[in-house]
Amino acid sequence: MYLQRLRILNYKNIEEADLTFSPKINCFIGNNGEGKTNLLDAVYYLSFCKSHTNSVDGQNVMHDRDFFMLDGDYSLNELSTNIYCGVKKRQKKQFKRDKKEYEKLSDHIGLLPLVLVSPSDEELILGGSEERRKFIDGFIAQYDKLYLSRLLSYKTLLTQRNSMIRNEIHDELLYETIEEQMTTYGTYIHEQRTKFIADFLKHFQEFHQTVSLGKEKVDLIYQSQMQEQPSLLKLLKENREKDFVVGYTTKGVHKDDLEMNMEDLPIRKIGSQGQCKTYLIALKLAQFDIQLMKDNRFGQVFISDTNREHLSSLLKNLDCDYHLYGVENGHIELKESR
């Protein structure tokens, strides 16, 4: 699978672009703030139906414009497919595959697998548990549509339960109904997360050994309240009164975390800047490797940099096709190709 052509209108600072890409390497060179990240974000949007940097669609529309449009032509399993997204301010977004609008955006997730590496990845280590759950959920959702469906259903029920708690609604039957459904979805989520981490850990440790030259021992430990009490239904019921006191649901898979360790200690506490970067690179390589195994082919790569010498050195050592673009004030121009 690769992106052949991308057309952009009014997306962030990119007023208009019509780009044809190499199926192998595509590089974007330009100073900070010129639009490189916005271009990569447009590619991300067509895979995940949302921006990586700003989830509020209206705020991704170019200043003083009313809409943005993204239109991509992909080679998918040796067939061509078109993905279109149109967003008008204060209106529902349109997301289409081959001119047919999706009934649910979740139906699109997983069609165009994508792994993003960015400076914000450090939040996986330094941020809260929500960042690590997003990492796990985003990965599993790309190949397991049932997981995504049950995750969304669980979150909807959680929102309902929290609203009832905040409004001090004491309806035993209603709580039991919601909690039984949360248990069905939550149990599946817990099982799939457990399987994912067990498989992913092997790939991660292998890549870390390579990247770090075997200097450190690393580990990923899945933490869940359901490991101590497998019955989510019992957890929810037993903690209902406590939840009324604090004002939200304190137990469930929405509290899961991923402990990231080096030498049996949290890397966020003992890792140097270099060690944290190595850890993150190994995480992303493992993620990419699993998706490559699924597709059984090499993936298309997009790289952005402010330093032309860095990119020139990289391309010199790569024996494959590439496109090199210059990016300035939202304008993108092909500078070199092979």
Structure tokens at 285: 């390589």
User: Is 297 a residue whose pLDDT tops 80?
Assistant: no
Give span(s): CATH 1.20.1050.90, the chain.
121-297
pLDDT digits (tens, 9 = 90+) for 137-147: 999 998 899 99
Tell me how far CA of residue 276 lies from CA of 12, 132, 214, 266, 286, in angstroms: 31, 15, 15, 11, 15
Q: Cα angle at 190 between 185 and 191, to 5 degrees? A: 100
What are the backbone dihedrals phi and psi of residue 332, each rounded to the nearest 5 degrees, phi first?
-120, 125
Distance CA 153, CA 142 (A): 17
Strands 301-305, 25-29: parallel, antiparallel or unpaired by DSSP? Answer: parallel
Confidence class for position 292, pLDDT limits 50, 70, 90? low
Distance CA 238, CA 90 (A): 42
Average pLDDT, the chain: 92
Q: Which positions ≥6 away from 201 have C-beta within 8 Å? A: 219, 220
Nearest by Cα to 315 from 336, 333, 285:
336
Confidence class for position 78, pLDDT limits 50, 70, 90? confident
Distance CA 199, CA 204 (A): 9
Average of pLDDT values for 303-309?
A: 87
pLDDT of residue 298: 53
User: Is 293 a residue whose pLDDT tops 80?
Assistant: no
pLDDT of residue 296: 46
Average of pLDDT values for 249-254?
A: 97
pLDDT digits (tens, 9 = 90+) for 47-72: 999 999 998 999 999 999 999 999 99
CATH number of 1-114+307-338: 3.40.50.300
pLDDT of residue 200: 94
Angle between helices 273-295 and 172-211 (to 10 degrees): 100
pLDDT digits (tens, 9 = 90+) for 194-210: 999 999 999 999 999 99
Average of pLDDT values for 293-302?
A: 64
Distance CA 143, CA 245 (A): 39
Confidence class for position 3, pLDDT limits 50, 70, 90? very high
Own/partner pairs for 76-80, CB < 8 Å, 24+ apart? 76/1, 76/111, 76/112, 77/1, 80/4
CA dihedral 6, 282, 106, 302 (to 10 degrees): 0
Give span(s): CATH 3.40.50.300, the chain.
1-114+307-338
Neighbours of 185 (CB within 10 A): 23
* Structural class in CATH, domain 121-297: mainly alpha
Structure tokens at 245: 């006191």
Strands lying side by side in the sheet with 218-223: 218-223, 257-262, 265-266
Neighbours of 78 (CB within 10 A): 6
The residue with greater pLDDT, 253 or 90, is 253
Angle between helices 273-295 and 129-141 (to 10 degrees): 20
* CB 322 within 8 Å of CB 2: no
Instruction: Provide the total of helices (H) and of strands (E) in the chain, helices listed first.
Output: 10, 13
pLDDT digits (tens, 9 = 90+) for 114-128: 888 888 899 999 999
